[in-house]
Amino acid sequence: MGQGPEREVATRRVRRRSRAALTVRAAAVLTAAVVGVTGCDAVGGAPDPSGSASKRTKPAPVWDTSPESVAAVGDSITRGFDACTVLSDCPEVSWATGSSAEVDSLAVRLLGKAEAAEHSWNYAVTGARMADLTAQMERAAARKPELVAVMVGANDACRATTSAMTSVADFRAQFEEAMGTLREKLPKAQVFVASIPDLKRLWSQGRTNPLGKQVWKLGICPSMLGDADALDSAATLRRNTVRGRVEDYNAVLRDVCAKDRRCRTDGGAVHEFRFGTDQLSHWDWFHPSVDGQARLAEIAYRAVTAKKP
């Protein structure tokens, strides 16, 4: 009985030590939990079970430099017009989808000759303008191509008069509509847009050829090629007006394409290309020859396969 108080004091001391130990362990658990949550947020998700961040799967690139199918849309250039015979299409030498070994088209370079024969399609139409592109896009989309190659706009400037040229505002609205139509049907298809050639340079190259000028009189690009030998101020103003409109069109192509993450242009390479007499049709001295088509194919292939636009 005399040791009762001492035992009670000892018991209280043991209880206090137990409670203190429990408090320390609880604090340690809470701290570990907080650190764990913070660490998880810092790396943007749950910890890597493999213990190595380098093993995480990287997202696929937006632009595929080796698409497995190609559809072409556009105008007479993409149809190979006047490259083989006068005033006729020659799609086998098209820069985009042609089968000719002399051209080595974009489709052949990307897919190989056998695969290109099965998985490339040409929906371009001679004489087409930007207003016609939406319908061409619809036909192309039905094939579900992985890449759509576009070259259009020269005919919007090649009108009877400069006042008849497509306005820049309409050109933009029509191109946006065509791209929107494609995106509704093929949201992941890639689009390559070639720039419009410098029509005034084509005039300057071809105007020294008598045969070419006779063909021009049949109605080829009258706003630029009409009165081919006239060098007066009115003729110069007319040609410069056409050239300026083409430059405005090319700016629209670049601007609209830049807003689509799966679209890239040639950076103006076709417009800047200095077509010589060897690269021009020996029928009309205005459209690309077979050699000219091969140069266009080279430009397109470099743009499509570049790691960065």
Structure tokens at 261: 């993450």
Q: Domain 70-305: give its CATH superfamily.
A: SGNH hydrolase (3.40.50.1110)
**Coil, helix or strand at residue 43:** coil
Nearest-angstrom CA–CA distance, 87 and 100: 19
Q: What is the pLDDT at residue 47?
A: 43
Structure tokens at 113: 């000759």
Instruction: Check residue 160 and report its DSSP letter.
Output: S
Nearest-angstrom CA–CA distance, 220 and 249: 20
Q: What is the pLDDT of the chain when averaged over all its residues?
A: 87
Q: What is the pLDDT at residue 56?
A: 57
Q: What is the pLDDT at residue 48?
A: 45
Q: What is the pLDDT at residue 188?
A: 97
Strand runs (DSSP E) across the chain, as ranges? 70-74, 120-122, 147-151, 190-193, 263-265
Rounded to 5°, the CA angle 239-242-244 comes to 110
Amino acid code (one letter) for 8: E
Nearest-angstrom CA–CA distance, 244 and 221: 15
C-alpha closest to that of 103 among 289, 302, 304: 289
Helices 133-141 and 168-185: crossing angle in degrees, nearest 10, is 10
List, in order, residues 6 or more apart from 80 with CB less than 8 Å away: 89, 90, 91, 92, 93, 94, 98, 293
Q: 273 near 202, Cβ under 8 Å?
A: no
Give CA separation, 69 vs 140, 145, 191, 293, in Å: 11, 5, 12, 20
Q: What is the pLDDT of residues 179-220, one digit of tens each?
A: 999 999 999 999 999 999 999 999 999 998 998 899 999 989
Residue 174 phi/psi, 5° resolution? -70, -40
Nearest-angstrom CA–CA distance, 133 and 153: 10
Domain coordinates of the chain in residue numbers? 4-43, 70-305
Q: Considering all CA atoms of the chain, what is the largest pairwise distance in Å, rounded to the nearest integer? A: 136
Residue 73 phi/psi, 5° resolution? -135, 155
Q: Which residue has tokens 């039905």?
A: 142
Residues of the chain with pLDDT under 70: 1-61
Residue 148 phi/psi, 5° resolution? -115, 120
Q: 73 pairs with which residues across the strands?
A: 150
Nearest-angstrom CA–CA distance, 277 and 206: 7
Q: What is the pLDDT at residue 1?
A: 46
Nearest-angstrom CA–CA distance, 200 and 239: 7
Q: What is the pLDDT at residue 60?
A: 60
